[in-house]
Amino acid sequence: MEIFLTLLLVLGVIHLVQAQNEQGFINLDCGLPASEPSPYRQTETGLEFYSDAKFIQSGEIATIQSQTNLRNILKPYTTLRYFPQGTRNCYNLLIEKGRKYLIKAWFRYGNYDGHDIKPKFGLYLGPNLWTTVDMNLVNNSTNEEILHVPTSDSLQVCLVKNGATTPFISSLELRPLGNHSYITQLGSLKLISRRYYTTSDDNIRYPGDAYDRQWFPRSLSWLTHISTTRDVSNGGIYNLPKAVRQNAAMPTNASAPLTIEWTPENPNDQFYVYLHFAEIQDLQANETREFDVFLDGNTFADLVTPKKFEITTIESHYPRTCEGEKCSLQLTRTQRSTLPPLLNAYEIYRVIQFMQPETIETEVVALKNVQDTYKLIRINWQGDPCVPQHLMWDGLACSNTTISRPPRVTSLNLSSIGLTGTIAAAIQNLTQLETLDLSNNKLTGEVPEFLGNIKPLLLINLSGNDLNGSIPQSLQSKGIELLLHGNPRLCQTKSCTKPQSKDFPVVIVATVASVIILIAVLGLVFLLVLRKKNQYTTMQAQQLPPSMPAAMVNIANANSHEPLNEIKRRMFTYSEVIKMTNNFQNNLGKGGFGMVYHGFVNSSRQVAVKVLSQFSSQGYKEFKAEVDLLLRVHHTNLVTLVGYCYEEDHLALIYEFLPNGDLKQHLTGKGGRPIMNWSIRLRIALEAALGLEYLHIGCTPPMVHRDVKTANILLDENFKAKLADFGLSRSFQGGIQSHDSTAVAGTLGYLDPEYNQSGRLGEKSDVYSFGIVLLEMITNQPVINQTSENSHITKWVSSKLICGNIIEIMDPTLRKDYDSNSAWRAVELAMSCANPSYSKRPSMSQVINELKECIMCENSRLSNNQGLESQAIRIGLDSSVVPKAR
């Protein structure tokens, strides 16, 4: 099988190499019929185009209708591939990691389906939205260009259905560029405009442009166009076409500026601009050409003097924004210049920041190998396996991700899909796997040893197969939950446990065993003496229980207000954890750092048990941080720690059980959850804010939660809100502090942008996250929506605020049942919390006061006891600023 997979990989590389011409270009004619030759040479450009069939596993092909004027259309754009099945369909291309590419996607509808309904869909690079293709906004065809540096050796160009219409593509083209050109501080560059000044009507492509950039002619009545037949040196790294170098324009009115204008799609759009010019006139001794460049009145470049018959390029060194509804770039001659400004060509690009990191490449390869091993055909197993979350592959669960932390596969469920053969070796490369379910298939062979090497594994379900042999000792000795019933040929007793080694001579074994026993006895005596001494010292100095693990001693001393006997009482053994969860029978889901199970303490008190990944150093740090915090803080709006388990490799946290789940489930309606009215949402927001305020000013030292989000706000049986998941929390001494030694942590979308960029942490980092939570509660919109141009919820709300209609912003499921003043105040509060500037955000105490005002506005609207309970009203009118500890 490995030889077969290697052969497939080699063939895939051969196909890609064959699709590249001598310049390294990749030219795919999408939908080229099998009856037509591939490759073929396109007459106008001289480029070889290949069929796309070997680079995508889905889609159907079609040809644009004949009534379209085919004579003016290049051959690669007369056919197309469309995707009636699946939500995401992706091309997979092997490229050079870290190399800058010009990527072009062409779309010509041509009424290929006879429906004359122009589609709208998303175009993605990997997990990130590149742009939205809307054929209703163009005549009949369009193309998209982007300059992009891939972060892995494969590039996935995906078409994503976001409505009722069907995505399609006519051609996909990649051109490698020099890495010293088009340099940006951050992000990729989406082409807005690329023009050269000429009276000709000729578009320039390859071979005129060595990189196959497409230059459109620009001719304006108020400009004087000049040209030369002399050779104009390239003079730089941009390798401009000859026709671009030999043509230029200048204002006919020598005193007038040369102006370029464009309109941003969004007010916060950032741009890179490239101006190319050369002096192509023979100047007299008394003639001078010198000019300044301004963008919206601000200096872009000053004292520019074009070089004689040599191209110079002025470029943005950092992204620029425009101040008005239009961007205005002006070349203005200086006072001592006798000639007007001159320009050969310009390029304008918009910055596209791809915030979502891709799944670790080794895990993507592992999943592809699993797919090949079992010949799985799944329409949605295309693109990135984990992200974006709404397009995650079937049968997977992945870890939460931040900008600096890529997603990892934590669960693989291939149950009941008819798998045959042995357990795929590629699974061992999913090194962060916590649950593996291969049950109810037709798998044969032995249970492999490598499963025991996947350290985070907590649950393996192999039941209902035809496995044989014995169980590796590594799986029996690590506390992994194994489900093996329904394998009649599999020996599950210890008497037939697969030995670690065999066939050693008896004499050697006996000798080695004797030496080991002797060393063990001596070591045991030494450890007993040392332990007794340490116990005596510890009890004398600290009077701590001698059975308490060393790590818990440190936690107990970390400013805990708990008596030591109470800390001891909260410790549970691993056998007690197994008993309280009924051997981990009732799985509540996956928390931030482990599986969560329902259980009972003393057969009566309901608890939620989070089992930590005992082999992860990061998991241990977060475990210690959470125990440390919850042992010393007590507040009615913080989740209560019932106890913990720290026994050898077993780490677990036992919390109070909150039966109404988390806030995110209720907003999304997951699991048939009822829709919460506006009053309840405001009360939940207030209670979460009170919990945060206590962390910020009621704790000593103050704490920052660092992972405030709707999934971490839990609800009890009365819908009372409690903050949970304190594993990322950090203490600070007030104000804003640098934590250079601590990696930036949080959840994508909720993460404070200033903290993410600088690493400086303060309580207003939580305020930003709370603002995002409040926007979710107000709008019921996703925090990040990759299918929208306004991908972040703050941008979406900002776009709606322009209209001034609160109904456009509020969750439609509320059915307008809210006080408009209360709603407006909540929106304004949320946006002030989510201000990109740390200093401009309110404190949590200010947030609480404003939420109380929102509640009072809403209560004044309600009558006949339809508002909040009187107790909640009293909470809303409480003048206390600092919440009291419970």
Helix (H, G, I), strand (E, B) or coil at 6: helix
Which element (helix H / strand E) includes 480?
none
181's CB contacts (< 8 A; 6+ apart) are 100, 237, 238
Q: What is the DSSP string of 385-432?
A: SS-SGGGPPTTEEE----SSS---EEEEE-TTS--EESPPGGGGG-TT
**CA–CA separation, 452 and 109 (whole Å):** 53
What stretches of 39-96 show up as alpha helix (H) in DSSP? none
**CA–CA separation, 872 and 283 (whole Å):** 82
DSSP classification of residue 204: B
Query: Bridge partners of 327?
Result: 262
Check: CB of residue 485 under 8 Å from CB of residue 510. Answer: no
Tokens of 621: 């740090």
What stretches of 223-301 show up as alpha helix (H) in DSSP? 242-245
Helix (H, G, I), strand (E, B) or coil at 70: helix
Q: Which of 707, 725, 752, 766 is catalytic?
A: 707
Tokens of 778: 């107000």
Q: Is the CA virtual torsion 335, 341, 347, 348 positive or negative?
A: positive
Helix (H, G, I), strand (E, B) or coil at 706: coil
**Of 84, 79, 77, the residue nearest 63 (C-alpha):** 79
Check: CB of residue 168 under 8 Å from CB of residue 118. Answer: no
Tokens of 294: 């301004």
Q: Is 610 annotated as a binding residue?
A: yes
Q: Is the CA virtual torsion 586, 587, 588, 594 positive or negative?
A: positive
Active site residue 707: yes
**Of 166, 40, 36, the residue nearest 109 (C-alpha):** 166
Pairing of strands 188-197, 216-218: parallel
**CA–CA separation, 205 and 583 (whole Å):** 67
**Of 189, 188, 280, the residue nearest 242 (C-alpha):** 280
Torsion angles phi and psi, residue 592, rounded to 5: -60, -35
Could you report how far apart the first and last alpha carbons of the chain are, in Å?
Answer: 63
Cis peptide bond upstream of 207, omega within 30 = yes
Length of the chain: 886
DSSP classification of residue 711: G
**CA–CA separation, 27 and 442 (whole Å):** 43
Q: What residues form the annotated binding site? A: 610
Active-site residue set = 707
Q: What residues form the annotated binding site for ATP? A: 610
